[in-house]
Structure 1
Amino acid sequence: MEFTKQFLRAKNPCANGFRWFVRHVEDGVGYQQALDQLVAAGRVDDALWLLGQFGPTNAVLRADGLEAEAVVFAGTVQVRGGIDVDGVIHAGRSIHAGGGIRAGGAIVAGEDIRAGASIRGQGRLHCGGDLRADWGVEVQESLHCGGELRAAWDVVCGGALEVGAGAFVGQDLTVHGDMACGKGLRVGGHLSGAGSLRAGQGIVVGGAIGGVMHLEAGWGIKAGESIRANGAIKAGESLCAREDIRAGDGYGIFAGLNVQEPAWEDCAQVWAQRLPAGLRSGVWMGPSAI
């Protein structure tokens, strides 16, 4: 794809950006070359606007390692080692790194993001496909994953967390905003939140669930320690905690919301050290044996 001033004008760019383009970019320049020139001049926002207008390509950027002020690439970024960027890294397709990924700004990919070590960003993280880290993930702002999220270590998110499919976290999950998973959520350690949490399927946590506002799962909820929320607790099927299950003051605990009442003894069991206060539906079975 080649750019001309007339071609760009048809996209209604801002006056300031168009003037800079006219003065510094020759007619007929390639798409990626135009993006590179904008980034090199410090006009990263203009490069992101251009990528948003013309979309991704099938180009592949291959490197042994990648260090830069910022990266805006229309295709896929494939790096054998690590990626270290002071600002944003934005790929129209995927970002694959054999080592870690660190960015001082946002980390964005239209498709997958995969790292052989940790992923750390000072801004938001957004990927249209799967997110996979062989170590942990830490972002200061929101995290959006359109597919499946898998991290072997901790996941720490400074804003909201949204996962289109299932999420699998090997150690602790800490989120300072709302959490939503389209399918199931499995956490090997503790789950700590500040907003509400909803999973379309089940929630399984090896440690404790705490800090969240409302807690809801389309299937069951199970924790190796306690289940505590500041609001309501709602499960489509059963609830199970080795310790206590506790909702916020004035809120209820509901099991079996997605099954018929005659099936509660089989599909809406509530296991906890003691009868949960505010249990509105389901059958308390006593202390959990597992």
Structure 2
Amino acid sequence: MDLTKDFVKTKRPCTDGFRWFVRHYQDGSNYQELLDALVAAGRIGDACWLLDQFGPSDGVRVLDDVDADAIVFAGTLEVRGNIDVAGIVRTGRDIRAGGGVRAGEALIAGGELRVAGGIRAGDRIEAGGDIRVGWGIEASGDVRGGGDLRAGWDVHCGGVLELAGNAFVGGDLRAEGELRCGKGVQAGGDVCAAGLRTGHGIVAGRSICSAMHIEAGWGVKAGEAIAADGAIRAGESLEAGGEIRAGAGYGVFAGLDVHVQAWKASARVSACRKPAGLMSGWWAGRATP
């Protein structure tokens, strides 16, 4: 795609950015060439603005390793080894890495994000599709994905964790903000967040905890405790190896999407002792190992 002066002007760029473009590219420029030039000049914000305006390309850039100040690429970035960037990593389509990824600022893929190693981001992580990571994820900001999240180790999110699909995590899943999944959550360790809401179910090998409410469209199952400072609401059953505990003044609700006559089969509540404030569901006693 060739970007002429008149074409860029129709997008109403900032005055300073447009002057830079005219000064360096009076006769226009190739789209990706201009993105690379903006990054090289330290104009990362302008490069991201340009990508917002003109969208992704079908280009593919294949590299052995990346060690840079920033990357803004309109297509798919394929790196055989590691990506180590001091600032932002952003693509219009997929990011694929055979090693790990470290971004000092945000890591943003317009499509899928596939990393064989681990990810560490100083700000947010965003992907238009799935996020698939062989090791763990550590982000200081939000983590948002348009598909599923799969990680072999722990996932720690310093902000909101929001997914259109499922979260499958081999270790602990922790979010300092709310954890919202359009489908379900499954973790081998703890699942903890400021608030926890899923369209489907929640399964944790250890505990499930929330500083606000726990809400699941299907059932909730934990190897240890299920605890919230707010209410606990499940469309189907609740099962914990330890206690089930809602916050003071809040209730525990199971079977919200199940007919009362079917509670014994599909809205069972099992824990080490009967939860205080159990408002709905069929108390089944202690959960069997």
- Alignment length (residue pairs): 289
- The answer for the alignment partner of 1:237 in structure 2 is 236
Cα deviation code 1:150-178 (max 9, x no counterpart):
00000000000001001100000111001
- The answer for the alignment partner of 1:182 in structure 2 is 182
Query: 1:112 Cα deviation (Å)?
Result: 0.3
Taking the TM superposition and a 5 Å limit, the aligned residue runs for 1:63-142 are 63-142=63-142
Query: 1:184 Cα deviation (Å)?
Result: 1.0
- The answer for the alignment partner of 1:258 in structure 2 is 257
SS in 2 for 1:178: strand
- The answer for the alignment partner of 2:164 in structure 1 is 164
Compare 51-60 and 18-27 and name the one that shifted more: 18-27
- The answer for the alignment partner of 1:24 in structure 2 is 24
| Alpha-carbon distance between aligned partners in 1 of 2:14 and 2:183, rounded to the nearest angstrom | 41
Query: 1:20 Cα deviation (Å)?
Result: 1.1
Query: 1:10 Cα deviation (Å)?
Result: 0.9
Query: 1:278 Cα deviation (Å)?
Result: 0.4
Taking the TM superposition and a 5 Å limit, the aligned residue runs for 1:186-225 are 186-193=186-193, 195-225=194-224
Compare 16-25 and 96-105 and name the one that shifted more: 16-25
- The answer for the alignment partner of 1:285 in structure 2 is 284
For the 8 Å contact 2:195–2:210, the answer to whether it is kept is no
SS in 2 for 1:176: strand
Q: Residues 110 and 4 (structure 1 numbering): CA distance in 2 closer, same or farther, change over 3 Å?
A: same
SS in 1 for 2:132: strand
- The answer for the alignment partner of 1:273 in structure 2 is 272
| Alpha-carbon distance between aligned partners in 1 of 2:26 and 2:87, rounded to the nearest angstrom | 26
- The normalised TM-score by structure 2 is 0.99
Query: 1:192 Cα deviation (Å)?
Result: 1.8
Structure 1: runs of 5 or more not aligned: none
| Alpha-carbon distance between aligned partners in 2 of 1:155 and 1:201, rounded to the nearest angstrom | 20
| Alpha-carbon distance between aligned partners in 2 of 1:274 and 1:231, rounded to the nearest angstrom | 19
SS in 2 for 1:48: helix
Cα deviation code 1:70-107 (max 9, x no counterpart):
00000000000010000000000000000001000100
| Alpha-carbon distance between aligned partners in 1 of 2:83 and 2:108, rounded to the nearest angstrom | 13
- The answer for the alignment partner of 2:33 in structure 1 is 33
For the 8 Å contact 2:120–2:139, the answer to whether it is kept is yes
Query: 1:219 Cα deviation (Å)?
Result: 0.4
| Alpha-carbon distance between aligned partners in 2 of 1:102 and 1:279, rounded to the nearest angstrom | 46
| Alpha-carbon distance between aligned partners in 2 of 1:275 and 1:4, rounded to the nearest angstrom | 70
| Alpha-carbon distance between aligned partners in 2 of 1:151 and 1:35, rounded to the nearest angstrom | 31
SS in 1 for 2:174: strand
Query: 1:25 Cα deviation (Å)?
Result: 2.3
User: How well do the aligned residues superpose, as a CA RMSD in angstroms?
Assistant: 0.7
| Alpha-carbon distance between aligned partners in 2 of 1:213 and 1:88, rounded to the nearest angstrom | 32
SS in 2 for 1:111: coil
- The answer for the alignment partner of 1:11 in structure 2 is 11
Compare 73-82 and 11-20 and name the one that shifted more: 11-20
SS in 1 for 2:258: coil
Query: 1:212 Cα deviation (Å)?
Result: 3.1
Taking only the aligned residue pairs, the percentage that are identical comes to: 55
- The answer for the alignment partner of 1:49 in structure 2 is 49
| Alpha-carbon distance between aligned partners in 1 of 2:183 and 2:202, rounded to the nearest angstrom | 9
Structure 2: runs of 5 or more not aligned: none
- The normalised TM-score by structure 1 is 0.98
| Alpha-carbon distance between aligned partners in 2 of 1:223 and 1:199, rounded to the nearest angstrom | 15
For the 8 Å contact 2:274–2:283, the answer to whether it is kept is yes
Structure 1 residue ranges (4+ consecutive) displaced by more than 4 angstroms after TM superposition: none
SS in 2 for 1:196: strand
